Structure 1
């Protein structure tokens, strides 16, 4: 099983390729949707790595893919500029999920 990366950041794409992970550069919603369709059609790809910028372009489709399909596993990563999530993202997530303040 292989990994595949969809990114809007050329630095991330270069790094993934150096690590042996195939990928595509996608800067528009149309590009992201086409790349996701390609990944879903390829039964050899088990993990889809997508940067936050591309995820934001096609959030509805990717959320649906996360919840409905067993393959590919969708993993959202930060790009070379850093994460757009809040600093206390994990703490808030735990608090919302189980009600414990850390």
Structure 2
């Protein structure tokens, strides 16, 4: 299984390539959805890494895939500007399993 990055900026892609993680640049919603569907359909990809901005563009699609019990892991990372939402982890847990911690 391999990891795959979908990012909205070249710096993140270059940084992840240093860790031997391939990725693609997607800047419009249509590009983002198309690249995400390609990654989901590729059974060699075990981890799909997306930046915060990409997650915000296709939040419903990502959460739906997670709800279906896909074998692929979807991971959201901050890009070069850092973590935008400081309460992201807590909100994500609450949305995912319905428990407030």
Tell whether the structures are fold-level matches, with TM greater than 0.5: yes
Distance (Å, rounded) in 1 between the aligned partners of 2:53 and 2:66: 17
Distance (Å, rounded) in 1 between the aligned partners of 2:67 and 2:6: 19
Instruction: Quote the residue 2:53 is aligned against.
Output: 53
Give the CA RMSD over aligned residues: 2.2
Shift of 1:43: 0.5
Partner SS, residue 48 of structure 2:
strand
Cα-to-partner distance string for 1:19-50 (whole Å, 9 max, x where unaligned):
11010011111111011111111100000000
Judged with a 3 Å threshold, the aligned counterparts in structure 2 of structure 1 residues 39 and 69 are, in CA distance, closer, same or farther, namely farther
Partner SS, residue 74 of structure 1:
strand
For the pair shown, the structure with the greater C-alpha radius of gyration is 1
In the superposition, the TM-score normalised over structure 1's length comes to 0.84
Give unmatched runs, 5+ long, in structure 1.
Answer: none
Distance (Å, rounded) in 2 between the aligned partners of 1:60 and 1:90: 17
Judged with a 3 Å threshold, the aligned counterparts in structure 2 of structure 1 residues 59 and 98 are, in CA distance, closer, same or farther, namely closer
CA contact (8 A) 1:46 1:72 kept: yes
Give unmatched runs, 5+ long, in structure 2.
Answer: none
Instruction: Quote the residue 1:62 is aligned against.
Output: 62
Match status 1:21 vs 2:56: no
List, as ranges, runs of 4+ consecutive aligned residues in structure 1 with deviation greater than 3 Å: 88-96
In the superposition, the TM-score normalised over structure 2's length comes to 0.84
Judged with a 3 Å threshold, the aligned counterparts in structure 2 of structure 1 residues 92 and 67 are, in CA distance, closer, same or farther, namely closer
